[in-house]
Amino acid sequence: MSAPARVEATATTLDWIARLQAMHGPLAFYQSGGCCEGSAPLCYARAELRVGPHDVLLGEIGGSPFYIRENQFEYWRHTQLIIDVVKGGGEGFSLEGPEGISFITRSRVFTDEEVAELAALGEPPRAA
């Protein structure tokens, strides 16, 4: 059994990622924890997302890197983030807002076995 992904996307999310990539080119995601977007995953044109040394690369969804701030990672480390879509545009900075949808984060707690598998792999890498 292989370790679970720290971040996954629903089929609907993957469809929207493909649509947004067709419109905007390569994308990147950032799990917000700030005041502007609450805890929503933000979608950016990849060239516009600036990551720093305190950001953690959780994985990829739809071929797009997915980052989270290290203090947010500490809060979420025991869960798998599952990125989904709901109707209703966000009022913020994310590319999907004008399309009448919003990305949202759902989660599930890792099992004890999954925690052990993830620990054996080590920490996810920090952004350069």
Q: Is the dihedral of CA 75, 10, 57, 65 positive or negative?
A: negative
Cut 0.85: pTM above it: yes
Q: Is the dihedral of CA 50, 53, 54, 55 positive or negative?
A: positive
Q: What dihedral angle (degrees, nearest 10) is formed by the CA atoms of 67, 72, 74, 79?
A: -70
Straight-line distance from the first to the last Cα atom of the chain, in angstroms, rounded to the nearest whole number: 30
The pLDDT profile of the chain, 128 residues, written as one tens digit per residue, is: 578 999 999 999 999 999 999 999 999 999 977 655 557 899 999 999 999 999 999 999 999 999 999 989 988 889 999 999 999 876 567 888 778 889 999 999 999 999 889 988 887 767 76
